[in-house]
Amino acid sequence: MNRRDLLTCVLADKSRPGASMGPEFYTNAVLRTHENKPVRFYDDLIKGKLSLINFIYTGCMKSCPRSTGNLAKAQKLLGDRVGRDVFMYSITLKPEEDDPTTLRDYARGHGAGPGWLFLTGDEYDLTTIRFKLARWDHPMLDFDLDQHTGMVRIINDTLNQWTMCPTHATPKQIVDAVSWVEPTKPFAVRLRENYVAQAGIDRETKEAKARGAWRA
């Protein structure tokens, strides 16, 4: 299959968000999901979406199980948003070992819910995507696959905003990081949030005062 002949003609693509870096950055490489469906990386997975992307391999015994477990908890916290306005992708670092069936078993084993795809594909494409999304700019690290299992990249393509979070952070931290690339909420909503946050801070200050750990 001509993997890259599906590169979208940018000018013809009217549906692409204005701020997006588009397939010319992300590539439109064809990957295969754990449900054995072909998907185009930019058009089907990134375009106009808010996505969490991390790299794993099913044989990874060091950091991956905890990473995947944490992401599964984050998925539960995000609830029905996953698959609707938040999308999760775990891309294999070892496509030669991880075919769709292996990934399907891995996904089931970790309790991954709908809206979370496990992806494999051509090694060249996956390496290209990995360097686009998670480059250390450090040769020792960039060719050490185990150094690419630790961060989840979070991209809001509509705003072209990026951030990342270590996969060993708490599920709450991962969900917080998702909010960092979301559109700014209306002022009135954020003002209400400020009142709630202030009440929490005031409780902590009161406790600190009682301990003698705050001085007026």
Partner 1 sequence: MSTPTGRKKKDVKPEPGEGLTRRTALKLGAAAGAVTVLTSRKGFSLPMLYDSVPPEPTVCSPQPAHSPGTTPFVQALPIPPIARPRKFSPVPTQSANIAAGEAPRADHQRWSEFLPQDLYEFTLTPALHTFHPDMAPTYVWTYNGIYPGPTIIGQYGIPSLVRFHNNLPVDHTGFGSNTHTTHLHNGHTASESDGFAGDFWGPGFFKDHHYPNIYAGYDTFPGGGDPREAMRTFWYHDHRHSFTATNNYRGLNGMFLLYDNVDTGFETGGDHNALHLPGQYGLYDIPLNFTDKKFCADGQMFATAPDAVPAGDKFIVNGAIQPFFQVARRKYRFRMLNSGPARIWTFTMSDGRPFTLIATDGNLLEHPVNVPSLELHVSSRYDVVLDFSGNQIGDSVYLMNIASQFVNNAPEPLPDPNVDVTKAVMRFDVVSNAQDQSVVPDTLIQYPDLNLNEVVTTRIWNFDLIGGQFKVNGLIFDPDRADATVKQGTAETWIIRNKLPASGWTHPVHIHLEEGRILSRNGAPPPSEESGRRDVYPIRPGEEVHIFLRFREWFGKYMIHCHNLGHEDNFMLVRWDVGTQTSLVTSPVDSLGNPNPLAQPNPNPPVLSDLFTRKGALA
Binding residues for partner 1 (CB under 8 A):
19, 21, 25, 62-63, 132-133, 135, 137-138, 140-141, 146-151, 155, 159-170, 173, 177, 180, 183-184, 186-188, 190-191, 194-195, 197-198, 201, 204-205, 208, 211-216
Decide the pairing of beta strands 38-40 and 151-156.
unpaired
Nearer to partner 1, 8 or 147 (CB): 147
CB of 18 to partner 1, least distance (A): 8
CB of 138 to partner 1, least distance (A): 7
Which residue's CB is nearer to partner 1, number 34 or number 148?
148
40 CB neighbour count, 10 Å cutoff: 19
Write down the least CB distance from residue 74 to partner 1, Å: 13
Q: Which is nearer to partner 1, 117 or 165 (CB)?
A: 165
201 class by beta-carbon count within 10 Å (0-12 exposed, 13-18 middle, 19+ buried)? exposed
Is residue 47 within 8 Å of 17, Cβ to Cβ?
Answer: yes
Closest CB to partner 1 among 33 and 157?
Answer: 157
Neighbours of 154 (CB within 10 A): 23
- What distance in Å separates the CA atoms of residue 20 and residue 47, rounded to the nearest whole number? 8
Q: How far is the CA of 8 from the CAs of 25, 30, 158, 161, in angstroms?
A: 11, 12, 17, 21
Least distance in angstroms from the C-beta of 81 to partner 1: 21
